[in-house]
Amino acid sequence: MWCLKRKAELLAIIALFGGVALAQGDEPAAEAAPQAGIAETGEQVASRCAECHGEGGRSQTRDMPSIAGFSMLATMDLLDTYRMGLRTARAVELPDGTKTDMVEVADSLSDADEWAVVIYYANQPWQPHEQPFDAALARRGAEIHAEKCDRCHYDGGRDPESDLPISAGQWRDYLEAEFDNFDSGRRAMSDKMREKYDTLSAADKRAIIELYVSAGDY
Ligand code: HEC
Ligand code: HEC
């Protein structure tokens, strides 16, 4: 349900930006300010995320997800899962000694800041993290994924158009932790994903993680 509400909001905001872009076509100098404002705000908000998610959303920490290139809807939905208590957030200590987590982060965003930051990340390039992997296992994972997961996580978890987190080339440590979180119930999943996920053996899960770690390049 929350997804539909978000989609409606997103369409409204895209229409607004579309309007701004059209106006710019006619009057480039005079109309340039509003969009520059949104881009600047996006960058400013993202500077609050960078301590954990890295510059431009490319994480330098293996247990922290990269979020560059996630679609706007994907990031909005993910932020909502924290607000709605569907996902337990881990507290992380910042260099200045303070602690925060994703629930606090999501709650602290105004609507305008959230739109700006999701647009910012949607425009950053996803760069798979190069990590060692077992090619035979990744191939096995690809077969299982094609059968059970690709319907939603398009193209082996590579395609941002699925409006889901990109998993191909994500950090292994982070992925393993999220599979554990799904298994233990610390992270909820939709009934439709559950239907498929619950048919996976422990070995199947390892194979799919290997596929993701390989970024499809096996
Ligand atoms: C203090 C560290 C920290 C900060 C600051 C932070 N995050 Fe996170 N974020 C995390 C951690 C850790 C996770 C994953 C594990 C968890 O849920 O605790 C995460 C997960 C996410 C996810 C889900 C990724 C996925 O693949 O499921 C999104 C989206 C996200 N963060 C966006 C943001 C945005 C946008 C900001 C800035 C406005 C931000 N985060 C700031 C630590 C942080
Ligand atoms: C019906 C659609 C659907 C199917 C089928 C599906 N998923 Fe998902 N998956 C989702 C949604 C929606 C999310 C985002 C959930 C959230 O926001 O926390 C997700 C999230 C994930 C994540 C978290 C990634 C991250 O960075 O946060 C992983 C891992 C994942 N799915 C693995 C799988 C695997 C493995 C399969 C196949 C067995 C699968 N999914 C099948 C819809 C699906």
Model pLDDT for residues 168-206, shown as the tens digit of each residue: 999 999 999 999 999 999 999 999 999 999 999 999 999
Under the banding of pLDDT at 50, 70 and 90, the label for residue 33 is very low
Indicate the average pLDDT of the chain.
90
Q: Are residues 15 and 115 in the same domain?
A: yes
Ligand nearest to the CA of 113: 1
Q: 131-178 pLDDT, tens per residue?
A: 999 999 999 999 999 999 999 999 999 999 999 999 999 999 999 999
| Residue 76 shares a structural domain with residue 164 | no
Binding site membership of 72 for ligand 1 (Cβ less than 6 Å): no
| 133 close to 210: Cβ distance less than 8 angstroms | yes
CB of 157 shorter than 6 A to ligand 1 = no
Decide: helix, strand or coil at residue 187: strand
Q: Is 164 in the pocket of ligand 1 (CB under 6 A)?
A: no
What CATH code is carried by the domain that includes residue 43?
1.10.760.10
Q: Tokens at residue 75, please? A: 């990031």
SS3 state of residue 92: strand
Q: Is position 130 within any domain? A: no
Do 87 and 140 lie in one domain? The reply is: no
Strands 92-93 and 99-100: antiparallel
Are 106 and 49 found together in one domain? Answer: yes
Indicate which ligand has the atom closest to the C-alpha of 167: 2
CA 167 to ligand 1: nearest atom: 26
Residue 163 and residue 65 share a domain? no
Q: Which residue has the tokens 């520059």?
A: 36
Between 23-32, 39-48, 80-89, 112-121, the lowest mean confidence (pLDDT) is in 23-32
| 197 C-alpha to ligand 2 centroid (Å) | 9
Residue that finishes a domain, picked among 122, 149, 181: 122
Structural domain includes residue 57? yes
Q: What is the dihedral of CA 65, 164, 184, 178, to 10 degrees?
A: -20
Q: How far apart are CA 164 and CA 153, in angstroms?
A: 7
The token pair that represents 39 in the structure block: 């881009």
Buried b / exposed e along 92-120 (16+ C-beta atoms within 10 A): beeeeeeebebbebbeebeeebbbbbbbb
Question: Do 142 and 88 lie in a common domain?
Answer: no
Residue carrying the six token digits 């990109």: 166
Shortest-distance atom of ligand 1 to CA 51? 5
Do 104 and 185 fall into the same domain? no
Q: Are 171 and 110 found together in one domain? A: no
Q: Which domain holds residue 158?
A: 135-214
Q: What are phi and psi of 171, to 5 degrees?
A: -65, 135
For residue 129, tell me if it sits in a domain.
no
CA distances from 27 to 22, 139, 155 (A): 9, 53, 41
pTM: 0.90
Q: How many domains does the chain have?
A: 2
Q: Are residues 172 and 111 both part of a single domain?
A: no
Statement to judge: residues 104 and 22 lie in one domain: yes
HSE-CB for 68 with a 13 A CA cutoff: 21
Residues 10, 70, single domain; the answer is: yes
